[in-house]
Protein backbone atom coordinates (compact mmCIF):
# COMPACT_ATOMS: atom_id res chain seq x y z
CA UNK A 1 0.00 0.00 0.00
CA UNK A 2 1.32 3.42 -0.97
CA UNK A 3 -0.03 6.40 0.88
CA UNK A 4 0.50 9.98 -0.26
CA UNK A 5 -0.61 12.42 2.42
CA UNK A 6 -1.04 16.14 1.67
CA UNK A 7 1.92 16.24 -0.68
CA UNK A 8 2.88 19.68 -2.01
CA UNK A 9 5.72 20.77 -4.24
CA UNK A 10 6.53 24.20 -5.62
CA UNK A 11 8.99 25.22 -8.31
CA UNK A 12 9.93 28.91 -7.98
CA UNK A 13 6.83 29.58 -5.90
CA UNK A 14 4.51 28.00 -8.49
CA UNK A 15 2.71 24.92 -7.13
CA UNK A 16 3.20 21.80 -9.29
CA UNK A 17 1.68 19.39 -6.81
CA UNK A 18 -0.85 20.92 -4.46
CA UNK A 19 -2.03 19.12 -1.31
CA UNK A 20 -2.34 15.75 -3.04
CA UNK A 21 -3.55 12.72 -1.05
CA UNK A 22 -3.94 9.23 -2.51
CA UNK A 23 -3.89 5.65 -1.24
CA UNK A 24 -2.86 3.01 -3.76
CA UNK A 25 -3.90 -0.46 -2.54
CA UNK A 26 -1.53 -3.43 -2.85
CA UNK A 27 -1.70 -5.13 -6.22
CA UNK A 28 -3.41 -2.13 -7.85
CA UNK A 29 -2.58 -0.91 -11.35
CA UNK A 30 -2.85 2.78 -10.55
CA UNK A 31 -2.71 5.24 -13.42
CA UNK A 32 -1.90 8.90 -12.89
CA UNK A 33 -3.69 10.61 -15.76
CA UNK A 34 -3.81 14.19 -16.88
CA UNK A 35 -2.67 16.73 -19.46
CA UNK A 36 1.00 17.70 -19.64
CA UNK A 37 2.07 19.92 -16.77
CA UNK A 38 -0.54 18.55 -14.36
CA UNK A 39 2.15 17.21 -12.00
CA UNK A 40 1.67 13.49 -12.68
CA UNK A 41 5.34 12.78 -13.51
CA UNK A 42 6.51 14.88 -10.58
CA UNK A 43 4.21 12.90 -8.27
CA UNK A 44 5.56 9.60 -9.61
CA UNK A 45 9.17 10.72 -9.16
CA UNK A 46 8.47 11.73 -5.57
CA UNK A 47 7.65 8.12 -4.72
CA UNK A 48 11.27 6.99 -5.33
CA UNK A 49 12.66 10.31 -4.09
CA UNK A 50 14.00 11.47 -7.45
CA UNK A 51 12.07 14.68 -6.70
CA UNK A 52 11.95 15.99 -3.13
CA UNK A 53 8.60 17.28 -1.88
CA UNK A 54 8.07 20.37 0.26
CA UNK A 55 5.43 19.10 2.66
CA UNK A 56 3.36 16.02 3.44
CA UNK A 57 4.44 12.41 3.72
CA UNK A 58 4.69 9.34 1.50
CA UNK A 59 4.57 5.86 3.04
CA UNK A 60 5.18 2.52 1.36
CA UNK A 61 3.80 -0.42 3.39
CA UNK A 62 3.53 1.95 6.34
CA UNK A 63 7.17 3.05 6.19
CA UNK A 64 7.96 6.74 5.60
CA UNK A 65 10.16 6.89 2.48
CA UNK A 66 12.31 9.59 4.04
CA UNK A 67 13.40 7.10 6.70
CA UNK A 68 14.99 4.89 4.03
CA UNK A 69 18.31 5.87 2.39
CA UNK A 70 17.38 7.00 -1.12
CA UNK A 71 19.56 4.49 -3.02
CA UNK A 72 18.22 1.60 -0.92
CA UNK A 73 14.66 2.81 -1.53
CA UNK A 74 15.19 3.02 -5.31
CA UNK A 75 16.70 -0.47 -5.46
CA UNK A 76 13.44 -1.76 -3.96
CA UNK A 77 11.29 0.02 -6.57
CA UNK A 78 11.24 -0.80 -10.28
CA UNK A 79 11.58 2.22 -12.57
CA UNK A 80 10.82 2.45 -16.30
CA UNK A 81 10.67 5.68 -18.31
CA UNK A 82 9.61 6.92 -21.73
CA UNK A 83 13.16 7.44 -23.01
CA UNK A 84 13.92 3.91 -21.75
CA UNK A 85 17.43 4.96 -20.74
CA UNK A 86 19.13 1.65 -21.46
CA UNK A 87 22.90 1.90 -20.98
CA UNK A 88 24.15 1.91 -24.59
CA UNK A 89 27.59 0.53 -23.68
CA UNK A 90 26.18 -2.48 -21.83
CA UNK A 91 24.65 -5.66 -23.22
CA UNK A 92 21.02 -6.58 -22.65
CA UNK A 93 22.15 -8.93 -19.87
CA UNK A 94 24.22 -6.22 -18.14
CA UNK A 95 21.33 -3.78 -18.43
CA UNK A 96 18.82 -6.14 -16.86
CA UNK A 97 21.35 -7.08 -14.18
CA UNK A 98 21.84 -3.45 -13.06
CA UNK A 99 19.91 -3.55 -9.80
CA UNK A 100 20.75 -7.19 -8.88
CA UNK A 101 24.44 -6.25 -9.23
CA UNK A 102 23.94 -3.17 -7.07
CA UNK A 103 22.41 -5.55 -4.52
CA UNK A 104 25.40 -7.91 -4.86
CA UNK A 105 23.44 -10.94 -5.97
CA UNK A 106 25.65 -13.94 -6.80
CA UNK A 107 26.46 -14.33 -10.52
CA UNK A 108 24.57 -17.60 -10.95
CA UNK A 109 21.37 -16.10 -9.53
CA UNK A 110 21.71 -13.02 -11.78
CA UNK A 111 22.12 -15.16 -14.91
CA UNK A 112 19.06 -17.24 -14.05
CA UNK A 113 17.02 -14.13 -13.29
CA UNK A 114 17.98 -12.51 -16.61
CA UNK A 115 16.88 -15.63 -18.51
CA UNK A 116 13.64 -15.77 -16.53
CA UNK A 117 12.83 -12.11 -17.27
CA UNK A 118 13.65 -12.37 -20.97
CA UNK A 119 11.27 -15.31 -21.16
CA UNK A 120 8.62 -13.35 -19.24
CA UNK A 121 8.93 -10.59 -21.87
CA UNK A 122 8.83 -13.25 -24.65
CA UNK A 123 12.37 -12.64 -25.86
CA UNK A 124 14.65 -15.61 -26.46
CA UNK A 125 17.34 -15.41 -23.72
CA UNK A 126 20.11 -16.99 -25.77
CA UNK A 127 19.76 -14.67 -28.76
CA UNK A 128 19.15 -11.48 -26.77
CA UNK A 129 21.54 -11.69 -23.80
CA UNK A 130 24.63 -10.54 -25.67
CA UNK A 131 23.01 -7.89 -27.85
CA UNK A 132 23.60 -4.17 -27.39
CA UNK A 133 20.65 -1.76 -27.16
CA UNK A 134 21.36 -0.21 -30.58
CA UNK A 135 20.80 -3.64 -32.15
CA UNK A 136 17.20 -3.75 -30.86
CA UNK A 137 13.97 -2.24 -32.20
CA UNK A 138 12.17 0.42 -30.14
CA UNK A 139 9.66 -2.14 -28.86
CA UNK A 140 12.40 -4.61 -27.88
CA UNK A 141 14.30 -1.85 -26.10
CA UNK A 142 11.23 -0.97 -24.04
CA UNK A 143 10.72 -4.66 -23.20
CA UNK A 144 14.29 -4.72 -21.89
CA UNK A 145 13.51 -1.52 -19.99
CA UNK A 146 10.55 -3.25 -18.33
CA UNK A 147 12.64 -6.39 -17.64
CA UNK A 148 15.32 -4.20 -16.04
CA UNK A 149 12.69 -2.54 -13.84
CA UNK A 150 11.45 -5.96 -12.71
CA UNK A 151 14.93 -7.46 -12.24
CA UNK A 152 15.25 -7.45 -8.46
CA UNK A 153 11.60 -8.45 -7.98
CA UNK A 154 10.58 -5.04 -6.59
CA UNK A 155 7.47 -4.63 -4.47
CA UNK A 156 6.41 -1.64 -6.54
CA UNK A 157 6.86 -0.64 -10.18
CA UNK A 158 6.92 3.03 -11.28
CA UNK A 159 6.41 3.65 -14.98
CA UNK A 160 6.61 7.14 -16.49
CA UNK A 161 4.85 7.13 -19.89
CA UNK A 162 6.80 4.00 -20.78
CA UNK A 163 5.04 3.42 -24.10
CA UNK A 164 4.80 7.06 -25.15
CA UNK A 165 7.54 6.94 -27.77
CA UNK A 166 6.70 3.75 -29.68
CA UNK A 167 4.47 3.24 -32.71
CA UNK A 168 0.78 2.32 -32.13
CA UNK A 169 1.15 -1.38 -33.02
CA UNK A 170 4.15 -1.83 -30.72
CA UNK A 171 2.36 0.14 -28.00
CA UNK A 172 -0.63 -2.18 -28.26
CA UNK A 173 1.64 -5.23 -27.88
CA UNK A 174 3.48 -3.68 -24.93
CA UNK A 175 0.19 -2.80 -23.21
CA UNK A 176 -0.84 -6.44 -23.53
CA UNK A 177 2.49 -7.51 -22.03
CA UNK A 178 2.27 -5.21 -19.03
CA UNK A 179 -1.37 -6.21 -18.40
CA UNK A 180 -0.31 -9.87 -18.51
CA UNK A 181 2.67 -9.23 -16.22
CA UNK A 182 0.46 -7.35 -13.77
CA UNK A 183 -2.06 -10.18 -13.74
CA UNK A 184 0.68 -12.78 -13.29
CA UNK A 185 2.81 -11.03 -10.65
CA UNK A 186 0.17 -8.97 -8.80
CA UNK A 187 2.75 -6.23 -8.31
CA UNK A 188 1.58 -2.76 -7.43
CA UNK A 189 2.13 -0.53 -10.44
CA UNK A 190 1.97 3.27 -10.56
CA UNK A 191 1.86 4.33 -14.18
CA UNK A 192 1.84 7.84 -15.67
CA UNK A 193 0.18 8.58 -19.01
CA UNK A 194 -1.76 11.30 -20.78
CA UNK A 195 -3.44 8.74 -23.04
CA UNK A 196 -6.99 8.12 -21.82
CA UNK A 197 -7.38 4.95 -23.93
CA UNK A 198 -4.24 3.49 -22.38
CA UNK A 199 -5.50 4.38 -18.91
CA UNK A 200 -8.95 2.83 -19.41
CA UNK A 201 -7.39 -0.31 -20.83
CA UNK A 202 -4.80 -0.97 -18.12
CA UNK A 203 -5.90 0.66 -14.87
CA UNK A 204 -7.67 -0.87 -11.91
CA UNK A 205 -7.78 2.62 -10.46
CA UNK A 206 -7.22 6.03 -12.03
CA UNK A 207 -6.19 9.33 -10.46
CA UNK A 208 -6.95 12.28 -12.71
CA UNK A 209 -4.78 15.29 -11.92
CA UNK A 210 -5.56 18.90 -12.80
CA UNK A 211 -2.89 21.51 -12.13
CA UNK A 212 -1.33 19.53 -9.29
CA UNK A 213 -4.63 18.68 -7.60
CA UNK A 214 -6.60 15.46 -7.57
CA UNK A 215 -9.58 16.01 -9.88
CA UNK A 216 -11.04 12.53 -9.51
CA UNK A 217 -10.07 9.15 -8.08
CA UNK A 218 -11.82 5.89 -8.94
CA UNK A 219 -12.22 2.80 -11.09
CA UNK A 220 -12.12 3.47 -14.86
CA UNK A 221 -15.84 2.81 -15.28
CA UNK A 222 -16.80 5.21 -12.48
CA UNK A 223 -14.75 7.96 -14.03
CA UNK A 224 -16.35 7.50 -17.45
CA UNK A 225 -19.87 7.08 -16.05
CA UNK A 226 -19.75 9.74 -13.38
CA UNK A 227 -17.15 12.39 -14.17
CA UNK A 228 -16.75 14.59 -11.11
CA UNK A 229 -16.28 17.84 -13.04
CA UNK A 230 -16.41 19.45 -16.47
CA UNK A 231 -12.63 19.07 -16.65
CA UNK A 232 -12.81 15.31 -16.13
CA UNK A 233 -15.71 14.96 -18.58
CA UNK A 234 -13.77 16.84 -21.27
CA UNK A 235 -10.62 14.91 -20.52
CA UNK A 236 -12.20 11.44 -20.73
CA UNK A 237 -13.73 12.36 -24.07
CA UNK A 238 -17.01 14.30 -23.75
CA UNK A 239 -19.44 12.87 -26.34
CA UNK A 240 -17.08 10.02 -27.23
CA UNK A 241 -17.27 8.62 -23.73
CA UNK A 242 -20.21 6.35 -24.66
CA UNK A 243 -17.93 4.21 -26.79
CA UNK A 244 -15.31 4.19 -24.02
CA UNK A 245 -17.96 2.96 -21.64
CA UNK A 246 -18.85 0.10 -23.99
CA UNK A 247 -15.15 -0.70 -24.15
CA UNK A 248 -15.00 -1.09 -20.38
CA UNK A 249 -17.93 -3.55 -20.05
CA UNK A 250 -17.75 -7.21 -20.92
CA UNK A 251 -20.34 -9.07 -23.01
CA UNK A 252 -20.84 -11.43 -20.08
CA UNK A 253 -22.51 -8.59 -18.10
CA UNK A 254 -25.32 -8.07 -20.63
CA UNK A 255 -25.74 -11.36 -22.51
CA UNK A 256 -28.90 -13.50 -22.64
CA UNK A 257 -27.88 -16.99 -21.52
CA UNK A 258 -29.39 -20.04 -23.14
CA UNK A 259 -30.61 -18.38 -26.35
CA UNK A 260 -28.88 -19.10 -29.65
CA UNK A 261 -28.07 -17.33 -32.92
CA UNK A 262 -26.23 -18.11 -36.17
CA UNK A 263 -22.67 -17.08 -36.99
CA UNK A 264 -19.20 -17.24 -35.48
CA UNK A 265 -19.58 -16.61 -31.73
CA UNK A 266 -17.79 -13.87 -29.74
CA UNK A 267 -16.03 -14.57 -26.46
CA UNK A 268 -17.97 -13.59 -23.34
CA UNK A 269 -14.74 -11.86 -22.23
CA UNK A 270 -14.82 -9.47 -25.21
CA UNK A 271 -16.06 -5.93 -24.59
CA UNK A 272 -19.44 -4.54 -25.59
CA UNK A 273 -17.52 -2.27 -27.95
CA UNK A 274 -16.20 -5.34 -29.77
CA UNK A 275 -19.77 -6.66 -29.98
CA UNK A 276 -20.99 -3.39 -31.52
CA UNK A 277 -18.15 -3.45 -34.04
CA UNK A 278 -18.93 -7.02 -35.11
CA UNK A 279 -22.69 -6.31 -35.39
CA UNK A 280 -21.98 -3.32 -37.62
CA UNK A 281 -19.65 -5.43 -39.73
CA UNK A 282 -22.10 -8.31 -40.11
CA UNK A 283 -25.23 -6.13 -40.54
CA UNK A 284 -27.03 -7.94 -37.72
CA UNK A 285 -28.54 -7.03 -34.36
CA UNK A 286 -27.68 -10.29 -32.59
CA UNK A 287 -24.52 -12.36 -32.07
CA UNK A 288 -23.85 -15.76 -30.51
CA UNK A 289 -21.61 -15.72 -27.40
CA UNK A 290 -19.21 -18.49 -26.38
CA UNK A 291 -17.23 -19.19 -23.23
CA UNK A 292 -13.47 -19.56 -23.06
CA UNK A 293 -13.62 -23.15 -24.38
CA UNK A 294 -15.63 -22.02 -27.44
CA UNK A 295 -18.95 -23.55 -26.32
CA UNK A 296 -22.02 -21.43 -27.19
CA UNK A 297 -23.61 -20.11 -24.00
CA UNK A 298 -26.04 -17.42 -25.19
CA UNK A 299 -26.52 -14.32 -27.35
CA UNK A 300 -26.06 -10.55 -27.14
CA UNK A 301 -28.46 -8.15 -28.87
CA UNK A 302 -28.05 -4.55 -30.04
CA UNK A 303 -30.65 -3.40 -27.51
CA UNK A 304 -28.57 -4.95 -24.70
CA UNK A 305 -25.71 -2.56 -25.42
CA UNK A 306 -27.75 0.53 -24.57
CA UNK A 307 -29.73 -0.94 -21.68
Partner 1 sequence: MSGPAVPAFRAAARFPAIRLYNHVVPVLISAAVIAATACGFISVAPNRLVSGEPVALWLAADPRVTAALAVLGAALLTTAVATSNRAAHFVSAGIAVSLVFLVLAAAGQAAHAQAGSASKLARVSLGAAFWVMLGAAGLAVLDGLQRARAGILVQLAAVIVIGAGFAAMIEAGAFDALSLTHEYRTREAQFAGALTRHVELVLASVGVAVIAGFPLGVAAVRRPGWQGPVFAVLNLLQTIPSIALFGLLIVPLSAVASAFPSFAAVGIGGIGVAPALIALVLYALLPVVRSTVAGLSGVDRGVVDAARGMGMRQRQRFWQVELPLSAPVLLAGLRIVTVQAIGLAVVAALIGAGGLGSFVFQGLGQYAADLVLLGALPAIALALAADFLLQSATALLGRRVAR
Scanning 78-86, 193-201, 207-215, 252-260 for contacts with partner 1 by CB under 8 A, the matching segment is: 78-86
- List 2, 20, 81, 110, residue binding partner 1 (CB under 8 A): 81
- List 2, 4, 40, 48, residue binding partner 1 (CB under 8 A): 48
Does 148 interact with partner 1 (rule: CB under 8 A)?
A: yes
Strands ordered across the beta sheet of 188-193: 77-81, 156-160, 188-193, 29-33, 205-210, 213-218
Does 102 interact with partner 1 (rule: CB under 8 A)?
A: yes
Residues 248-287 that bind partner 1 (CB under 8 A): none
DSSP assigned state of 134 = G
Rounded to an integer, what distance in angstroms lies between the CA atom of residue 298 and that of residue 307? 17
Rounded least distance, CB 186 to partner 1, Å: 22
Rounded to an integer, what distance in angstroms lies between the CA atom of residue 218 and that of residue 195? 17
- List 8, 91, 98, 284, residue binding partner 1 (CB under 8 A): 98
Cβ within 8 Å of residue 25, ≥6 positions away: 1, 188, 205
**Closest among 156, 218, 145, 143 to 185, alpha carbons compared:** 156
Does 147 interact with partner 1 (rule: CB under 8 A)?
A: no
Does 296 interact with partner 1 (rule: CB under 8 A)?
A: no
Q: Which is nearer to partner 1, 69 or 238 (CB)?
A: 69
Q: Which parts of the chain are beta strand (E)?
A: 2-11, 14-24, 29-33, 55-60, 63-64, 77-81, 156-160, 188-193, 205-210, 213-218, 256-257, 266-267, 286-290, 296-301
Does 74 interact with partner 1 (rule: CB under 8 A)?
A: yes
- How many residues contact partner 1, by CB under 8 A? 28
Does 75 interact with partner 1 (rule: CB under 8 A)?
A: yes
Rounded least distance, CB 19 to partner 1, Å: 25
Rounded least distance, CB 177 to partner 1, Å: 19
Q: Write out the residues near partner 1 by the rule CB under 8 A.
A: 45, 48, 50, 70-75, 79, 81-89, 98-99, 102, 132-134, 145, 148, 158
Amino acid sequence: MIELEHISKRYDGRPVVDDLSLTVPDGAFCILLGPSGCGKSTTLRMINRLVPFDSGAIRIAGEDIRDVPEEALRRRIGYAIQSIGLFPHWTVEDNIATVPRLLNWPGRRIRDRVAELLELLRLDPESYRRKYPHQLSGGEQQRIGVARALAADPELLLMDEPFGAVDPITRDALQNEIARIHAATKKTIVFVTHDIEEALRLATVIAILERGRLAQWGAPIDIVEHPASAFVRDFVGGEGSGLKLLGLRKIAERMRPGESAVGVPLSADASLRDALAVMTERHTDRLPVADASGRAIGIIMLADLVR
